Structure 1
Amino acid sequence: MSPDDTSPAQDGRETAQTHLVASVPTARPETRAADLIAALGGQHFDCADTILVTDADTRLIGIVRINDLFANAGRLIGEIMEPEHEAVTVEADQEEIATLAIRLNMIVVPVVDETGRLIGAVPPEALFRILRDEHMEDLQRLAGIGAHQGGPAAALDAPIRDRLSRRLPWLVLGLAASTVVTLVMVGFEEALAANVAVAFFVPALVYIAGAIGTQAVSVSVRALSTSDVALRPLMRDEALIGLGIGAALGTIAGLGVLASFGDGLLALAVGLAVLGGGAVSSVVGFALPWAFQRIGSDPAMGSGPICTVIQDAASLAIYFLAVRVLIL
């Protein structure tokens, strides 16, 4: 078993082909565990953490974890193996490999060809690198930084122009979209003119909305990358979480405004704005990555900058509407 090519995919994606090793211990189901243990002695493998069980045609039919092998020396391999074990093909993206490893609690991921014949495995050290790289890419994409072809590590050493070009596009879009926030402020100019204290709480409201939304985006991106789950119940839960966070922070903020300014109506307006902004930010932050995925885009790419604009505009609109109703 030897891979034909261990170079990265031509389109820049890291695949199983990039990470697999071919020298791995294999066994047939009719072999006794004690005999296999004896046969493995003195041999060197690129990865020996898991025994890959194959049939007569070298098709993968199961795995035996090394601790199970030594704990059941008197039994047949077929009796202690995990049957019909999942594997990836050589063209599988490294994110798919990491997701499978997490879902099945695997330290070694088998790699097979199109017919199910064993080619090799992705070893633990490669899994660690994959998980770290995917994590770093998600962090960059959440911030609206385009992925570097050489990976997150290479991105740090890229030329200044390259790093600038990967960070600027989403920020330009965010700057253009931020005119919505400006229009919201202009639309409530009379509220600001009537009570200058109203303006004092705008930065805090924008920060709270952004912080809640960032949490929701992070949760959503992780959910999309690790499992196939229904959107509706998660969206309902996130709305409830946003209301809970908004209610707690709104109560604290309202009491603080009341204690500092002695203005009950202004305190109520701030509290309601935090409550409404928390709910909107949670739902928008959670839903936006799903929308990106639905249109075929990376769920993490640009979610942070776009989400920030929507959350800021919504929280300020709620705040000024509350001010107009309660104070003016």
Structure 2
Amino acid sequence: MSHDTILSNDHISFETAAQHATARVPVFTPNCRVDMARLEMLGQRYECASHVMVCEDRLFLGLVRIEDLLSAPADITLAELMDSQAPIVAPGVDQEIAAWRAVNHEESALSVVDAQGCLVGVIPPHRLLAVLLSEHEEDLSRLGGFTKGAEAARSSSEEPVRRRFRHRIPWLLVGLAGALLAADFVGQFEAQLQSKIILAFFIPGIVYLADAVGTQTETVVVRGLSVGVGMRQMLGRELLVGLAIGLALALVAGPLVWWRWGSPEIALCVGLSVFVSCATATLTAMALPWLLNSFSLDPAFGSGPLATVIQDLFSVLIYFTIASALF
């Protein structure tokens, strides 16, 4: 039996399960008796003693909760007492996934085991709590504008007026340029507007619906990321949802426009525009925050204005392109 250090994790990459694991835990062989384990733990200092690890030549077999060890008969072995189905994670698993696995299994600590089945260490309760708190703050920051973490969000909230102005005005100038470009787009279709002034009635509605779909997509993606769901897992489903939402809105908008304004051509134009604009809004809403982060730009200031102006331009262009084809 031994409680020596199992493995140093100084080399492990940032934000993984192994980075939070400690090897300073009680480790015993499965044939060790309960009374001997309790006796040997006396006077020892561990970083985590909420669980006793049961290993054979460093091969992880199970664990014994400290409350079970203290209350068990003295003459039984740890093999009889241990939980061989205790949850484990690999060293490279993301810290948030590891923390949620412990929560889902109602464990206060989590064993980290490598591909060979050897114990790397244990993530103690206070580190699991720190991970959950850190990830919670990061998720809230993302909801507020896709910043990388709470520290970045706090810095953005506390910076002086001059710096706030410098950080925000460039993106808003981009938005202004986009607004002027959108006006130019509309001007290119002056002939269609003169012959069908009713086309102008639906521009605000189509732009609003596309922006609303984009905002919903951002929220769903952030929620997925907060529980460890990767972007690749969400990409296909969100694109399909965007298509389904666009189709549903088009099927509602088209007949209503036909009924209210009595023009099947206008109804078809509005319906098709709503469908295509909503579909593209989903893709824009997923791509921009990721793209800004890739270029080390703070999405807290850029993703909102940039996503809005790009989607508005797309919506106007889509609308009048379809109108030109139909009229």
Q: Common fold, TM-score beyond 0.5?
A: yes
Paired AA for residue 202 in structure 2? F
Secondary structure of 1:141's counterpart equals: coil
> What is the TM-score with the length of structure 1 in the denominator?
0.67
Deviation at 1:208, TM superposition (A): 0.9
Secondary structure of 2:51's counterpart equals: strand
Please say if 1:134 is aligned against 2:144. Answer: no
**Alignment correspondent of 1:269:** 269
CA distance in 2, matches of 1:243, 1:124: 39
Structure 2: give runs of 5+ residues left out of the alignment: 5-13, 114-118
**Alignment correspondent of 2:315:** 315
Please say if 1:255 is aligned against 2:255. Answer: yes
**Alignment correspondent of 1:199:** 200
**Alignment correspondent of 2:78:** 76
Deviation at 1:201, TM superposition (A): 1.5
> What is the TM-score with the length of structure 2 in the denominator?
0.67
CA distance in 2, matches of 1:171, 1:99: 37
CA distance in 2, matches of 1:81, 1:263: 70
1:160-191 CA-partner distances (Å, limit 9, x unpaired): 34444444443343333444423322222222
Q: Which has the larger radius of gyration?
A: 2
Secondary structure of 1:192's counterpart equals: helix
Whether the 8 Å contact between 1:239 and 1:283 is mirrored in structure 2 is yes
Whether the 8 Å contact between 1:28 and 1:54 is mirrored in structure 2 is yes
1:193-237 CA-partner distances (Å, limit 9, x unpaired): 323322222111111111112222344455566245647xx5443
Please say if 1:100 is aligned against 2:102. Answer: no
Deviation at 1:37, TM superposition (A): 7.6
CA distance in 2, matches of 1:311, 1:111: 45
Please say if 1:160 is aligned against 2:161. Answer: yes
1:99-144 CA-partner distances (Å, limit 9, x unpaired): 43235646546799xxx865973434323421221112212333xx
Paired AA for residue 171 in structure 1? L
Paired AA for residue 237 in structure 2? D
- Aligned pairs for 1:1-328 (under 5 A) are 26-30=26-30, 31=32, 50-51=50-51, 53=53, 61=60, 64=63, 66=65, 69=68, 73=72, 76=78, 79-81=82-84, 85-86=88-89, 96-102=94-100, 105=104, 107-108=108-109, 118=121, 121=124, 122-142=126-146, 150-153=151-154, 155-221=156-222, 223=224, 226-228=228-230, 230=232, 234-292=234-292, 295=294, 297=296, 302-326=302-326, 328=327
Structure 1: give runs of 5+ residues left out of the alignment: 2-13
Q: Percent identity?
A: 29
Count of aligned pairs between the two proteins: 299
> Kindly tell me: are residues 192 and 70 of structure 1, through their superposed partners in 2, closer, same or farther at Cα, counting changes over 3 Å?
farther
CA distance in 1, matches of 2:154, 2:260: 48
Deviation at 1:75, TM superposition (A): 5.6
1:21-47 CA-partner distances (Å, limit 9, x unpaired): 989864434355687689889x99987
Deviation at 1:321, TM superposition (A): 2.0
Whether the 8 Å contact between 2:239 and 2:282 is mirrored in structure 1 is yes
CA distance in 2, matches of 1:241, 1:118: 42
Whether the 8 Å contact between 2:269 and 2:319 is mirrored in structure 1 is yes
CA distance in 1, matches of 2:235, 2:145: 22
